[in-house]
Structure 1
């Protein structure tokens, strides 16, 4: 075990000085230069910890900033601070990060590293157990230097090398302050001695550095290609190159000697930043010229700088004895502050004859523009008082003043043009060359260019006495007036410009909203300014500034809302290069050539959703994200009761306070207004799929977190399946019961219908039988009548034929008696034979039999089936008897005598075996 060096008296003095450095009084300040960088201060109220911040670093994997604070380890994600405490609540004296995302810290008797867990929070891993030195609990680790494959922890007397999972104690060349890395090489000073270089775990004396033994080295920086720039506590700066040490005697070295250099930093562009004990920070170039000087008078929170670090964007972070300050050298806005209150509050500005003129509430000031040195402001004598407007017309500088309107000559003279109080705004009329219109406290004034080319007051417009803050003319020649309190007027003047012919009031917001829609600008706008070449500058309600170009470029700048003068905000296009922004305390210059770079950077800047808090009644859990990749791999599916969500988001690596706009797709498709609020809460979300989106600029990248809220169990897919199955079962059961009921009802109805149908059928059958019977009866009657008619016809025919026959026979007898011609007798005989052949011929019988069978169906068949031996004559007689014909009528039909009929009747009775008393006619009719 190496022998521990005993502190020397010088070391003890230095240690006491470090511990009590915060009690030193600040020395006189240096003067601020023309273009100051953007500063953002964080007080202990912001980060909720102690004053002192001993060390700073940035995690390259996340962009988060870490500070070794007297309370613990501070983490800043670009929006909010979080504090982590060491196991024994020690003060964190040092912090450093490696390329793997580990954050190493050191304190009293403690070294270790912090690493993110699966929940996204940092968890501490102590390395103290790996140290065998029993005196280590009394050591305080003030410095940590990460190397390519090692981490060097250092107290003022001992060094510890953490490598390959082991901690090895390194013998130091004495009591030391800090180890410094320059490129790939490592240097430190042994107190009371010169410099040493760490080579292969051993410290080698750096020749020619013994002159440093009388002071303390507080920074070692690269100088040129191979040299070193050494900053000391009270001897200023030294240059070391090729074994030769030389003391520098330029402005920066003298400043650091006077105000005690404490920290140094090499900037990417070759410049240097030095933090002092007594007078803040200076920025120098390689020649030693002081480019910027920042202290409490110029915006720094405290003059004692305990630590410096450089972030990935080239901005400097300073850990102070009281607070933390970020210095953005690359921020486009360049500020001039007026700590002494010399200028007052600027209301307007103009470039005139290579001078910048500022109209303030103190008067008109001018300085040379541009200037590389400290600007010297000169007051125009006679201009004291409130200045509202500075306008250049035809090479003449006119000033609208509380006391009237004045001309400022190139020699600095102050000439009255119009003495009526309150010249608010003067603008030339493009539609009327040689004339200008001015808004005043009490109306409109008309100016005219005289024969000598000078602008002179002409007259006031009659009948118009409203206070007009702003006058402008659009491309169509229409004149617009902004009233001091009541919006915007559109007016039409008479041809002689003496009266108002037409006046139409319109809300100022109407024009603004139309312009916002045309340029796709969202959010609440305080004022809109017209810039160069169609550019528009939108001043938001929160103080931020949006610059738009016709080609679609949009550049946004975060500015504090309290920086502006309420109701008197002003942005002035100085020329095609700069816009000047008037603030309550000073002003800022915005270079137009940097707008595209700003937009490009905005498109790269992507906000990070840092945390999703899920609240379920009194219980809650949270998911924390440190990188975009961790966020992208997270696809939460939440329970139905977990519908109360809180999103927190940030903008890593952001120095200026970021503004956020968000929306929740699935609930609201519209973006919110931009605001510094970095948290959004949603309660009572309905089940469904959502996507939370956040952006930090209107055209910037969008960060999304999709998630899903599952329906409650009674609304889940399986529940709906069960509902479906149950419903199907109920439907099936009800259908079954219904079918049974329907079947029973149908059976009953069918039976009733069958019975009814049977009754109907029976009724119809009876009706049909009756109809058929009636039809048959009618047919029988008809056939009977037809048969009777036929029979009667036969009878009449035979009767007629008999009568003819008798007459013929009489004629024959007379002819024979008279012995007439024999030939006539032959013809008569022939006629008698013909008559005989037609009396009751066989054909007549067939016709009669056919009709008889139709009327008396089956009569002959039944008769023949019961009585054998019946002859055709018997059947013919039976048919005639059936028809109830008399013997006389039958005789005529049979062409026989009545006696012959009786004989046939007698024979038929015998064959039928009828008794003597039976009536043959009645039998046949009943058969």
Structure 2
């Protein structure tokens, strides 16, 4: 119960301490022209970042965050939620990439699956933990993992978990070479060695203060950093206050974290005023807070990565400082300095010419870190300052209002000609280009003054160069370059020649001097002046060795035979030999290195340190760091995501060496990381799929997508803008199922089967066609025979009709004889009558047979006629048949046993049903009607 009560008190106290409102957001500065270093590496995450660690294999950065475990790849972040949605307070990563985290009443580890996702495994379920326990620190030592809460220390040996109860309520634990130092509240500092706590003699001085950092400094010495009592030194026997500038700063602003960056540099995070850097003497070198780039002033954690960069966990988000980044950007918080156009160093003074006027600052340097203080505007300098040069120990200022001599913090006007853009030595004088031509300055004793304006040339002149023959080359801002020859008294232009670009497609024609040779810049290539042929020609040797820098729009002299060539987003220092071959010494990425509408100055501060004006204000660049780092750190390919119809498969490049995927998922998205380039404002990458892309493509995203890839093996490469070394991944898309060997076997089987089937069908079809042909021939033969039989039948019927008529007539005559039997013997009459009756009966049977045969022969005719005219009755069909055989009306009347008038009426009705006109003959129509023709 005592543990629980005290634990709750300590927990609330710690949270309140960490979450003190950062009331000093932007400390007031008495100097409105202050110049401060500026932090550019802010991480786009939210909420409190309690701990930070880096995966040594993937180089990815992980944050123990209120939202969960945050994975940051240098370009974007992913959040992995705790299974119970708990805040993650602490983090540590071992050499295998296993991520250990601690939270409220839980601790465990995360593993990376084959698809790149993280899975959490709890360890707290292996042991009983006190209620309300929370893990605030995690360390790796001697092959074990140590989880520290306010009441206990849990030791995990990758098999089992063991709990060690603390002798009292503890605040934080810190590692040493072989063991740990733990602060016991109201007790002092304990040494934890071999799982036993031993109170360190003399550490009782920390009873009333909280220790937030213990930094080993070598030879068993430590810096003990407290929240409000500054820093103490511990040499293994005694604790002594570290009286220093940084200790006083931390005691006032509440130290909350601290680490050693290198042998001479320390970083400390505060609750109230951001992060501060000091050397081993305690001198503050640099500070970052809300006023100069930090997202807020409350620092919760500090971590140094593999490149010695400093990650800062904040009360809201995180920040990054590249300690070995060549560039340290500076800015003016109030913006009162304006836009820089020119800079010049004179001893420990820095002169800054801007569009607001001329400023002077004091330069100081501690451990290669520069500061610029005591900023003030020189009285009377208000207005546009175009150029500053130092000649014969005197400083000349080209100003919108004329030309001035600068002496300390005073300005003396020596020319009233407005708009002095550039100043160059000419013999024992100075020639300057202005808004309205050229002006010559001369020296009268120690005083400089305007000597005269040069007559004969009044063009606006931004750049001038003087060659070894005394010609003045003057560049017009828009038109081109003039070659000017002065008279003997140097007050008049005796000869003028105008030159434009040698090609109409090129623009921005300007003039510079390299190794006493006049060089012209354009939009594409460099040119030189051929004095023998008096013409402009391509500078072939320089263009060839400069490569892309042959398109430079500005050339700045540096040291002897060394020149800076400026491109829009980078610059490089080249050494130029006597035969004009260029050798690159440094290359620097710089956002907006080529500033529109104005030149830039590159000012040497030391042997390997330059000051480079930019859009913020200026940056100080350590060229030795640029050489060391070489700005060619390549990105890391993290995972490949293949997708298709209703299916997605993801592969982590760290978990899978061979990637082979089915053709059905041939849409690919490649994800990559670039944690080393966090400070780059603009991150440009170049990628290429060797088998598909002819050249490199540019992207600023952290993923690239290819759709509908064909089957085959692929090599994907990606690199940085200045790097030649590219990250690469190989993968294979399998052939579609219809192109596999078993598919080809199936195709062969199907072809064989179809061939046999078609052969079978063809054979059956031929047999059927032959049968149909035989049937057709047989039908034609039968129809011919039927037609003959029909004609014979018709003749037979006619014969029978005639015979029947004769017999009928004989029967009528005999009836007359019977009526007059007296004349003839009855016996003979009866014999004749019997013969005639037998003849008529036989005639009737023959007639029936003929009629049946007629019906059979006319079946096709009846069927076709009925289909064409479904309203015909059987009587109509019989009439049609008799008419078609060309029987007379009388014959038809006898056949139908009706009167001739009935036949006429039947013919009339039949014509109407058949739709015949008055002019059409019914008999001819029926005789011409042929089913075969239809």
Question: Distance between the aligned counterparts of 2:343 and 2:93, measured in 1?
Answer: 47
Structure-2 change in CA distance of 1:663 and 1:480 (3 Å) = farther
Match of 1:610 among 631, 635, 638: 638
Instruction: Name 2:260's counterpart in structure 1.
Output: 266
Give 1:649 deviation, angstroms.
2.4
Question: Distance between the aligned counterparts of 2:82 and 2:276, measured in 1?
Answer: 34
Instruction: Name 1:384's counterpart in structure 2.
Output: 382
Match of 1:567 among 570, 581, 597: 597
Structure 1, residues 611-660: CA drift from partner, whole Å, max 9, x if none?
3333435644333334xxx68x3454662x65543333222433322432
Instruction: Name 2:227's counterpart in structure 1.
Output: 233
Give yes or no for the alignment of 1:671 onto 2:664.
Answer: no
Structure-2 change in CA distance of 1:698 and 1:261 (3 Å) = closer
SS of residue matched to 1:646:
strand
Query: How do 1:87-102 residues align onto structure 2 when only pairs under 5 Å count?
Result: 87-102=83-98
Alpha-carbon contact 1:348-1:359 (below 8 Å) kept: yes
Question: Distance between the aligned counterparts of 2:268 and 2:90, measured in 1?
Answer: 19
Structure 1, residues 268-309: CA drift from partner, whole Å, max 9, x if none?
224322111111112223332222222112222211111111
Give yes or no for the alignment of 1:311 onto 2:305.
Answer: yes
Alpha-carbon contact 2:19-2:298 (below 8 Å) kept: no
Instruction: Name 1:408's counterpart in structure 2.
Output: 406
SS of residue matched to 1:39:
coil
Structure-2 change in CA distance of 1:612 and 1:457 (3 Å) = farther
374-383 or 23-32: which moved more? 23-32
Q: For the aligned residues, what is the CA RMSD? A: 4.0
Question: Distance between the aligned counterparts of 2:78 and 2:599, measured in 1?
Answer: 36
Query: How do 1:358-437 residues align onto structure 2 when only pairs under 5 Å count?
Result: 358-369=352-363, 371-372=365-366, 375-409=373-407, 411-428=408-425, 433-434=427-428, 436-437=430-431
Structure 1, residues 378-420: CA drift from partner, whole Å, max 9, x if none?
43322122211112234332211121222224x5442223323
Alpha-carbon contact 1:440-1:467 (below 8 Å) kept: yes
Give 1:687 deviation, angstroms.
5.2
Structure 1, residues 834-888: CA drift from partner, whole Å, max 9, x if none?
xxxxxxxxxxxxxxxxxxxxxxxxxxxxxxxxxxxxxxxxxxxxxxxxxxxxxxx
Question: Distance between the aligned counterparts of 2:233 and 2:11, measured in 1?
Answer: 27
Give yes or no for the alignment of 1:580 onto 2:611.
Answer: yes
Question: Distance between the aligned counterparts of 1:364 and 1:253, measured in 2?
Answer: 37
Query: How do 1:233-632 residues align onto structure 2 when only pairs under 5 Å count?
Result: 233-341=227-335, 343-353=337-347, 355-369=349-363, 371-372=365-366, 375-409=373-407, 411-428=408-425, 433-434=427-428, 436-442=430-436, 444-450=437-443, 452=445, 456-457=449-450, 467-472=460-465, 483-484=476-477, 486=478, 489-496=480-487, 498=493, 501-506=496-501, 507-508=507-508, 511-514=522-525, 518-521=545-548, 529=556, 531-535=558-562, 537=564, 539-541=566-568, 543-549=569-575, 552-553=583-584, 555-561=586-592, 566-568=596-598, 570-574=600-604, 577-599=608-630, 602-603=631-632, 605-616=633-644, 619-626=647-654
Give 1:691 deviation, angstroms.
2.7
Q: Which structure carries more strand by proportion?
A: 2
Give yes or no for the alignment of 1:696 onto 2:720.
Answer: yes
SS of residue matched to 1:165:
coil
Give 1:453 deviation, angstroms.
7.7
Give 1:73 deviation, angstroms.
0.7
Q: Which structure carries more helix by proportion?
A: 1
Question: Distance between the aligned counterparts of 1:98 and 1:483, measured in 2?
Answer: 63
**What's the TM-score, normalizing by structure 2?**
0.68
Structure 1, residues 435-468: CA drift from partner, whole Å, max 9, x if none?
65534334x3142545758665455566765544
Structure-2 change in CA distance of 1:598 and 1:100 (3 Å) = closer
Give 1:172 deviation, angstroms.
0.6
Give 1:26 deviation, angstroms.
5.1
Alpha-carbon contact 2:570-2:591 (below 8 Å) kept: yes
Match of 2:71 among 61, 68, 75: 75
Question: Distance between the aligned counterparts of 1:474 and 1:704, measured in 2?
Answer: 51
Alpha-carbon contact 1:446-1:457 (below 8 Å) kept: yes
Give 1:9 deviation, angstroms.
8.5
Instruction: Name 1:841's counterpart in structure 2.
Output: none
Question: Distance between the aligned counterparts of 1:580 and 1:724, measured in 2?
Answer: 75
Structure 1, residues 224-265: CA drift from partner, whole Å, max 9, x if none?
522222111112122223432223333222211111111111
Question: Distance between the aligned counterparts of 2:25 and 2:444, measured in 1?
Answer: 61
Give 1:330 deviation, angstroms.
1.7
SS of residue matched to 1:521:
helix
Give 1:341 deviation, angstroms.
3.9
Alpha-carbon contact 1:464-1:500 (below 8 Å) kept: no
Alpha-carbon contact 2:190-2:197 (below 8 Å) kept: yes
Question: Distance between the aligned counterparts of 1:721 and 1:467, measured in 2?
Answer: 83
Question: Distance between the aligned counterparts of 2:288 and 2:308, measured in 1?
Answer: 17
Structure 1, residues 165-203: CA drift from partner, whole Å, max 9, x if none?
111111112111111012222011111110001111121
Structure 1, residues 712-763: CA drift from partner, whole Å, max 9, x if none?
56667888999999999999xxxxxxxxxxxxxxxxxxxxxxxxxxxxxxxx
Question: Distance between the aligned counterparts of 2:635 and 2:671, measured in 1?
Answer: 11
Question: Distance between the aligned counterparts of 1:321 and 1:480, measured in 2?
Answer: 59
Query: How do 1:635-784 residues align onto structure 2 when only pairs under 5 Å count?
Result: 635-636=659-660, 639=663, 642-657=665-680, 658-672=683-697, 676-685=700-709, 689-709=713-733
Query: How do 1:31-110 residues align onto structure 2 when only pairs under 5 Å count?
Result: 39-43=39-43, 46-47=44-45, 50-110=46-106
Instruction: Name 2:200's counterpart in structure 1.
Output: 206
Unaligned runs of 5+ in 1: 732-927
Structure-2 change in CA distance of 1:592 and 1:140 (3 Å) = closer
Query: How do 1:782-801 residues align onto structure 2 when only pairs under 5 Å count?
Result: none
Question: Distance between the aligned counterparts of 1:146 and 1:709, measured in 2?
Answer: 42
Question: Distance between the aligned counterparts of 2:35 and 2:574, measured in 1?
Answer: 24
Give 1:606 deviation, angstroms.
2.5
Question: Distance between the aligned counterparts of 1:23 and 1:399, measured in 2?
Answer: 44
SS of residue matched to 2:422:
strand
Question: Distance between the aligned counterparts of 1:469 and 1:725, measured in 2?
Answer: 83
Question: Distance between the aligned counterparts of 1:624 and 1:70, measured in 2?
Answer: 26
Instruction: Name 2:820's counterpart in structure 1.
Output: none
SS of residue matched to 1:11:
helix
Alpha-carbon contact 2:337-2:354 (below 8 Å) kept: yes
Give 1:564 deviation, angstroms.
8.1
Structure-2 change in CA distance of 1:141 and 1:428 (3 Å) = same
SS of residue matched to 2:249:
helix
Alpha-carbon contact 2:36-2:292 (below 8 Å) kept: no
Alpha-carbon contact 1:580-1:590 (below 8 Å) kept: yes
Alpha-carbon contact 1:34-1:371 (below 8 Å) kept: no
Unaligned runs of 5+ in 2: 502-506, 510-520, 527-542, 577-581, 756-934
Question: Distance between the aligned counterparts of 1:427 and 1:726, measured in 2?
Answer: 89
Give 1:595 deviation, angstroms.
4.0
Structure 1, residues 345-393: CA drift from partner, whole Å, max 9, x if none?
3211123355322112232223445544663334332212221111223
